[in-house]
Structure 1
Amino acid sequence: MKQIIWSVIGLSLLVSCKKSTESTTKIKEAYDKGTTQMYVESSVYPVVDDINEVFKSYYTNADIKLKMLSQNEILNAVYKDSNRLAVLPKTFSAEELAVFKGKVVPKITPIAKDAVLFITQKNTNDTLINYNDVIEIFKGTKTSDKIFVFHDANSAIVSNIMKDAKVDNISKNVYYTKTVEEIVSYINKNKNAIGVVGINWMLQPDDKIKENIKELRSMWVYNDSLKQYFAPSQSTIADNTYPLIRTINIIDVQGKTGLGTGFASFAASDKGQRIVLKSGLMPITLPKREINIVE
């Protein structure tokens, strides 16, 4: 009899454990729980990864899986509805937003401002660069012995230069790599190489590039309106004196209050903006600073 009772109890426990496991694996998605995937443009991945890690530490039932892709890959996925949550260093035009008409109203949340850098070897004589000259080189109207190195031919940086140059391709004077690590390596081996990257990778280098970037430096970029060269920094991003600044936006086309809503709210909150500030980028809203006066 006791054996039967213990068998029944054991079976009940197994069923209970199974139900418990099923309930935890089938959490209904909300702003603070569930599982979803978010595509992140490669040049701004480090800061988004930082925000996501802190977000998950606050909301332990939330699991946002980040996938680093190029801007073109992300836009294709979002427009085709194969992915509904993304982070891009891009401002959407009215024409681009019109694609969603009749489907869902996109929620676009700006979370930070970053800069596009031109980086070279420390021992080169070139420290200054004019973006207009870069455009002319890619148009083919100006010759140069410089090789411009990009991470991915479909990146946001390449897309913007092509748009500014009004060309369909920029094959001359260009070398594409698959990773930022390869950009750093290529510049260290080639004196005429100029890397074009998002500032986020230089401020938050991973272990693969941390040592090698010590041999590189950022070039000063000419500001046409101020007739002066400026170095990229948090302060020159803040006062808009550095000429190549981008806004990093979260685009959410989930059409519901899901993890995208929660993540965007967190990233734009005081906690999220502190992470942005600490990363070296410029937050959209400066975090509050409390001062305690002790008499």
Structure 2
Amino acid sequence: MGSGEAKAPRFMEFGGISYLIGWVTRPEARDRSGQDLVGLTLSQSLGPQDFSSFLSLASRQPVPDMPVKNPGKCITFVGQQVAATRMKLLDWAFFGGIIITMVFGCGRSAPQGEAATLPADSLTEAPSFDTKPDGETAPRVPGRLGASGSAMRKGEHATRGDIRIAVDQTLAPVIGAIVDNFTTIYPEAKITPIYLPGEEAIQRMLDSDSLRLVISTRRLSRDEEAYLRQQQVHPNYAVIGRDAIVVVTAEGNPTRRLTLDQLQAILTGQITRWDEIDPANGLGAISLVFDHAQSSTARYLQDSLLAGADFRQGGVFAAGSTAAMMREVANRPGALGLGGWAWVSDRDEPSRDSLMQGLGIVLLEGRKDNTECRYKQRFFGPHQSFTYWRCYPLTRTMTVISRETIFGLGTGLTSYIDSPPGQRIIHKAGLTAIHDIPRRVRMPAKEGAQQIE
């Protein structure tokens, strides 16, 4: 911490205590926000420039910069932001610490020239990168991640900054749409998504602290979490929705339904020919086509359906991506393809028709031990209603995994995805939003009756 950085005012401690009360009384907020705010609030002193980021994360939606130097404008800003959140009565405890912090902090400037005091175990070394004019990146000298700033933090905000994130490539269409919308709303935010096979995306985040977020289809394993904790990094999770693995065959294949036992037998090599499933199917040997050798598709199937067993030897291919997998299956009459549903879930997307050309979706038997499914039928496709109730057996969660220890741009993006606008994008993409999306329906009024909105 440089000598020019300020010591955070004492009033922040009262805000932290009030916030702690709300956090304890509403434990569901911990999972919903995806961040352990209490640990950060009570272990570090936040400076005035963190007010907007603090409110943005807690309210799960980005907010503009707070005019802390002008008391009148500052207090007006607080009222506007509180009204904009449309808080319910129970939310007042949760937001109490933030309101107290902001109101008592308005117009107060921290003394200059005094270093902030932080516990030694709350400091983390984290290299970051400057972008050169020619597009190359050069490592910056590592700085300590304190609350009032760091080498990685300078000039960054929940809606401003320049970061890279790793994204499971099976989720590329929907996450790309979310990032585009976020950066359009907040033009000072530059987010560069790096689309990678699921396992490679997680490994890249583990190996590189310049990637603060990974958007994946699973949580970290115990070994992966332990690896991060050895580096004094405590990963945070935010579940943002549900997607699925789609199973496809060539259009001319008459077999369009599989039980889970049959799918498991095909994956392990106990069933190798189509006529072992349907004697009338004369397409011969079954070849398996995955999207990628390191994809989250293969990892999910091995963990959830095969209980860790190995895939069969021989007749297994990796196409390189979900789109390539679909093209390959369309040209292989005896192939069975498995990939990310997000690539073809949006029926309004023009590219969906070209990807699905020459293909058919295989319906799968629901899990017999599933008590959530409200539908009585036996076979299901990977559609929204069936993934919402987990009737479709290859339903999986979309999860943001964060190693961010500051109220930065990664936190702002997570808040946006978790907010109604972000959830609408997920819903519009044909996937399942994790939160209910409010809708306003205008009912036509009958003659002589009052119109209801």
Contact 2:250 2:330 in 1 (8 A): yes
Report matched runs for 1:21-170 at 5 Å. 28-82=155-209, 83-102=211-230, 103-144=232-273, 145-163=285-303, 164-165=305-306, 166-168=308-310, 170=312
CA shift digits 1:93-124 (9 cap, x unpaired): 45543332251222211111011110112222
Cα deviation for residue 159 of structure 1 reads 1.4
Contact 2:156 2:409 in 1 (8 A): yes
Provide closer, same or farther for how the CA distance between residues 140 and 216 of structure 1 changes in structure 2, counting only shifts above 3 A.
Answer: closer
Aligned alpha-carbon RMSD (Å): 2.4
Q: Which moved more, 1:227-236 or 1:261-270?
A: 227-236
Cα deviation for residue 209 of structure 1 reads 6.4
Contact 2:346 2:428 in 1 (8 A): no
* Secondary structure of residue in 1 paired with 2:328: helix
Cα deviation for residue 151 of structure 1 reads 1.2
Q: Which moved more, 1:147-156 or 1:183-192?
A: 183-192
1:133 is aligned with what amino acid? Q
Q: Which residue of 2 aligns with 1:18?
A: none
Choose the corresponding residue for 2:381, options 196, 216, 231. Answer: 231
2:207 is aligned with what amino acid? K
Choose the corresponding residue for 1:287, options 437, 445, 451. Answer: 437
CA distance in 1, matches of 2:358, 2:320: 21
Cα deviation for residue 130 of structure 1 reads 2.5
2:424 is aligned with what amino acid? R
CA distance in 2, matches of 1:70, 1:268: 23
Contact 1:162 1:170 in 2 (8 A): no
Q: Which residue of 1 aligns with 2:74?
A: none
- Alignment of 1:195 onto 2:195: no
* Unaligned residue ranges in structure 1 (runs of 5+): 1-21
* Secondary structure of residue in 2 paired with 1:117: strand
CA shift digits 1:43-68 (9 cap, x unpaired): 11111001111111111100100111
* Unaligned residue ranges in structure 2 (runs of 5+): 1-132, 134-152, 274-284, 371-376, 444-450
CA shift digits 1:119-152 (9 cap, x unpaired): 1122220101233333333333333321111111
CA distance in 2, matches of 1:236, 1:253: 32
CA shift digits 1:61-103 (9 cap, x unpaired): 0010011101221121222234221100113445543332251
Choose the corresponding residue for 1:260, options 382, 394, 410. Answer: 410
CA distance in 1, matches of 2:353, 2:326: 10
Q: Which residue of 2 aligns with 1:214?
A: 357
Q: Which residue of 1 aligns with 2:4?
A: none
CA distance in 1, matches of 2:189, 2:355: 36
**Superposition TM-score, scaled by structure 1 size:** 0.83
> Which structure: larger Rg?
2
* Secondary structure of residue in 1 paired with 2:344: helix
* Secondary structure of residue in 2 paired with 1:32: coil
CA distance in 2, matches of 1:121, 1:230: 19
2:216 is aligned with what amino acid? L
Q: Which residue of 2 aligns with 1:4?
A: none
Cα deviation for residue 208 of structure 1 reads 6.4
- Alignment of 1:172 onto 2:314: yes
**Number of residues of Structure 1 aligned to a counterpart in Structure 2:** 271
2:249 is aligned with what amino acid? T
Contact 2:382 2:395 in 1 (8 A): no
2:292 is aligned with what amino acid? D
